[in-house]
Copies of this chain bind each other. A is one copy, B any other.
Amino acid sequence: MTTVLKGKDILHVKDIKLEQINMIMETAARFEQVLDSGGRLNNMAGKLLAMLFYEPSTHTRMSFESAMLRLGGQVLSVPDARASSSAVKGETLYDTGKMIDGYADIAVIRHMQEGSARELADGSSIPVINGGDGSGQHPTQALLDIYTIQKERTRLNNLTVTLAGDLKNGRTVHSLSWLLGKYGPRFYFVSPEELRMPPEITKALVDDGIEVIETPDLSTAAAKSDVLYMTRIQRERFTDCEAYERLKDTYLINNDLIRKAKSGITLMHPLPRLNEIAREVDDYEGAAYFRQAANGGPIRMAVLALLTGNE
Interface residues of A (CB under 8 A from B): 40, 45-46, 48, 50, 55-59, 62-63, 65-66, 69-70, 74, 76-81, 83-91, 94-95, 98-104, 232, 271-274, 279, 282, 290, 293-294, 296-297
Contacts and interface: CB of A to CB of B under 8 A. Distances in A.
Contact of A50 (B62, B76, B296): B62
Contact of A103 (B62, B95, B103): B62
Contacts of A81: 58
A85 B57 contact: yes
A214 to B, nearest CB: 27
Which 5 pairs show the lowest CB-CB distances between chains A and B?
A102-B294, A91-B272, A58-B84, A66-B103, A69-B74
Contact of A58 (B69, B86, B98, B232): B86
Given A90-B272, A99-B271, A290-B101, A66 B85 contact: no
A125 to B, nearest CB: 10
A55 B74 CA distance: 24
Contact of A273 (B95, B273, B274): B95
A56 B74 contact: no
24 contacts: A56-B84, A62-B99, A63-B102, A65-B76, A66-B76, A66-B102, A66-B103, A69-B74, A79-B79, A79-B80, A86-B272, A89-B232, A89-B272, A89-B274, A90-B274, A91-B271, A91-B272, A91-B273, A98-B290, A99-B271, A101-B290, A102-B293, A102-B294, A102-B297
B102 A55 contact: no
Given A101-B290, A102-B297, A293-B99, A56 B83 contact: yes
Contacts of A99: 59, 62, 271, 290, 293
A218 B305 CA distance: 48
B76 A48 contact: no
Number of copies: 3
Contacts of A66: 48, 76, 102-104
Given A62-B103, A78-B79, A98-B293, 4 more contacts: A48-B69, A56-B84, A62-B99, A91-B271
A24 B127 CA distance: 31
Contacts of A271: 86, 91, 95, 99
* Residue among A48, A62, A80, A294 with the highest chain B CB neighbour number at 10 A: A62
A187 B81 CA distance: 37
Given A58-B87, A85-B56, A63 B95 contact: no
Nearest to A46: B40
B102 A290 contact: yes
Given A99-B271, A271-B95, A297-B103, A55 B85 contact: yes
Contacts of A103: 62-63, 66, 297
A66 B47 CA distance: 10
A275 to B, nearest CB: 9
